């Protein structure tokens, strides 16, 4: 009943607005679409709340905070010649939406290791730790993880125990914090290769994350980071029955998809989407599609984690262009998942943490998202002829960072639209730091499919992993 009254009130207000502003053009048209879409509560979904999904796909945009999603939506629309502000990304029509509290046990602003542990394993831990329970003493964490081997099982292990297949995909090194949280334990996220281990950790029989991946029971694992494995390790893995190791796009495209597949396409991280050569490296969307096509016929059900790992790296460099193009690549991968995965698949799209990336000024609608701010012209409509000016009399960009390497001063050259829209431009920062940092505000989670309504409201990040754990155990 309450819903009907609310819908009626919305309809009335919409009719009222339409009658007053019927000549005001596309802005109102778009606003009314938004209003009518919002008459259904976000958590009223078409799936049975008790039904467990057969498959779960978890998309993680590393560092894809809400400002990145908004700017990415505008960027994606504008790059297709559409009106960016009213454009929609592939996950915006998902059934439910939640805000996620991302802090680590000992950090107000988190890192990817602690947050990926929360998302994939269901408990928060210290900043920098992958799948090791938190403790104030790093030594005690090493003892628990490496000597006693008491860390809770990984999502890969739990999924396998439940009879599911497992896929792990990242555009970062496959031993980087987020993908590592699918299969490994490490007190320090930096212990990627065995050679990276602190000598005391090596003495305590800790293993590098690369070694742990090769021992993990995954079905498909695709990403970068070949340099973290020794050639001997890769040969020993490859010769095992049913294993296929590929190191380039051609090998990947020709590989039989019913085998246990490891693809390591680059020595370190894979290329940014803006720089990627399709002949050498598959896109995130291609890797996602191949994984779904390969895992679906096994009929076991599957858990697939797909990370756009380099949104984060571009933000650390204050290079909004590459952050947004990598977010676009994630969006394309979500589209593929929506097309290929059946109605029995729960799809989650979230971020591990945000960045201090912001969007401001009062640019006119339709202003290029990477461009200099032009305010609306109050008399003639459209953009003002002059750029908006900062206190120093110089133009400024819509996008910027709270901290990072590019603090401008009185001697900095005047920005031009050509320079700020170039691929390599690094946006302005307020506080000078050599690397831009993560942001501490909540991130969004979008969910669709069976049990999507388990995700709504304001949630602790570890609740995501707890729910995933419950669903795979059903």
Q: How far is the CB of 468 from Zn ion (least distance, A)?
A: 23
Which of residues 120 and 249 has its CB atom nearest to Zn ion in the complex? Answer: 120
How far, in Å, CA of 367 to CA of 383, rounded?
8
CA angle 315, 320, 323 (to 5 degrees): 60
Which of residues 456 and 461 has its CB atom nearest to Zn ion in the complex? Answer: 461
Q: Among 209, 170, 183, 127, which residue's Cα sits nearest to residue 438?
A: 127
Query: Could you say which residues in the range 1-40 bind Zn ion, by CB under 5 A?
Result: none
Query: Could you say which residues in the range 300-319 bind Zn ion, by CB under 5 A?
Result: 312
Residue of 112, 121, 170, 283 with catalytic role: 112
> Element (H or E) spanning 209, and its range?
helix 209-215
Residue 352 within binding range of Zn ion, rule CB under 5 A? no
Which of residues 95 and 312 has its CB atom nearest to Zn ion in the complex? Answer: 312
Q: Among 294, 5, 281, which residue's Cα sits nearest to residue 168?
A: 294
Size of the site for Zn ion (CB under 5 A): 1
Q: Among 216, 189, 191, 217, which residue's Cα sits nearest to residue 204?
A: 191
Q: How far is the CB of 352 from Zn ion (least distance, A)?
A: 9
Please report, in angstroms and rounded to a whole number, the separation of the first and last CA atoms in the chain: 34
Q: How far is the CB of 337 from Zn ion (least distance, A)?
A: 24
In DSSP terms, 57 is beta-bridged to 304, 347
Which of residues 38 and 268 has its CB atom nearest to Zn ion in the complex? Answer: 268
How far, in Å, CA of 116 to CA of 169, rounded?
14
Of how many residues is the chain composed? 474
Which of residues 54 and 355 has its CB atom nearest to Zn ion in the complex? Answer: 355
Active site residue 429: no
Helices (H), 317-457: 320-340, 417-420
> Element (H or E) spanning 396, and its range?
none
Query: Could you say which residues in the range 140-179 bind Zn ion, by CB under 5 A?
Result: none
Helix (H, G, I), strand (E, B) or coil at 348: strand
179: phi then psi, degrees, rounded to nearest 5: -60, -30
Which of residues 375 and 406 has its CB atom nearest to Zn ion in the complex? Answer: 406
Q: How far is the CB of 281 from Zn ion (least distance, A)?
A: 21
Q: How far is the CB of 314 from Zn ion (least distance, A)?
A: 10
235: phi then psi, degrees, rounded to nearest 5: -65, -45
Residue nearest to Zn ion (CB): 312
Q: How far is the CB of 356 from Zn ion (least distance, A)?
A: 11
Residues involved in catalysis: 112
Residues of this chain that interact with Zn ion (CB under 5 A) are 312
């Amino acid at each position: 009943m309450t819903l009907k009254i609310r819908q009626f009130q919305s309809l009335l207000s919409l009719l009222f607005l339409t009658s007053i502003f019927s000549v005001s053009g596309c802005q109102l048209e778009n606003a009314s679409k938004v209003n009518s879409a919002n008459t259904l509560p976000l958590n009223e979904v078409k799936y049975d709340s008790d039904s467990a999904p057969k498959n779960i796909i978890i998309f993680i945009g590393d560092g894809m905070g809400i400002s990145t999603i908004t700017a990415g939506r505008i960027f994606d629309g504008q790059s297709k010649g559409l009106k960016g502000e009213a454009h929609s990304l592939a996950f915006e029509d998902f059934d439910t939406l939640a805000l996620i509290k991302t802090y680590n046990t000992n950090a107000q602003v988190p890192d990817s290791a602690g947050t990926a542990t929360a998302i994939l394993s269901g408990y928060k831990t210290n900043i920098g730790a992958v799948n090791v329970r938190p403790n104030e003493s790093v030594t005690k964490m090493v003892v628990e993880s490496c000597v006693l081997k008491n860390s809770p099982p990984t999502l890969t292990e739990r999924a396998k125990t439940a009879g599911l297949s497992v896929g792990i995909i990242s555009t970062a090194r496959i031993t980087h914090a987020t993908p590592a949280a699918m299969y490994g334990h490490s007190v320090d996220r930096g212990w990627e290769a065995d050679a990276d281990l602190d000598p005391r950790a090596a003495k305590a029989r800790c293993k590098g994350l690369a070694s742990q991946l090769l021992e993990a029971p995954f079905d498909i694992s695709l990403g970068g980071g070949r340099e973290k494995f020794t050639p001997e390790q890769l040969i020993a893995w490859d010769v095992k029955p049913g294993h296929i190791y590929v190191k380039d796009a051609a090998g990947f495209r020709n590989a039989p998809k019913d085998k246990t597949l490891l693809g390591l396409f680059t020595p370190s991280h894979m290329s940014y989407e803006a720089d990627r050569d399709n002949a050498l490296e598959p896109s995130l969307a291609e890797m996602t599609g191949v994984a779904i096509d390969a895992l679906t016929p096994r009929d076991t059900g599957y858990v697939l984690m797909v990370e756009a790992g380099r949104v984060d790296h571009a933000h650390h460099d204050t290079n909004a262009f590459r952050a947004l193009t990598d977010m676009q690549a994630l969006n394309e991968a979500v589209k593929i998942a929506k097309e290929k995965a059946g109605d029995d698949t729960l799809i989650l799209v979230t971020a591990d943490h945000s960045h201090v990336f912001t969007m401001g000024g009062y640019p006119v609608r339709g202003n290029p998202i990477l461009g200099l701010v032009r305010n609306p012209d109050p008399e003639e409509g459209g953009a003002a002829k002059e750029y908006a000016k900062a206190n120093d009399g110089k133009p400024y960009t819509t996008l910027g960072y709270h901290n990072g390497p590019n603090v401008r001063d009185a001697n900095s050259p005047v920005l031009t639209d050509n320079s700020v829209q170039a691929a390599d431009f690094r946006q302005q920062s307020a506080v000078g730091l050599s690397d831009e940092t993560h942001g501490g505000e909540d991130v969004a989670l979008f969910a669709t499919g069976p049990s999507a309504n388990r995700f709504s409201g304001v949630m602790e990040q570890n609740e995501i992993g707890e729910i995933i754990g419950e669903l795979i155990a059903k």
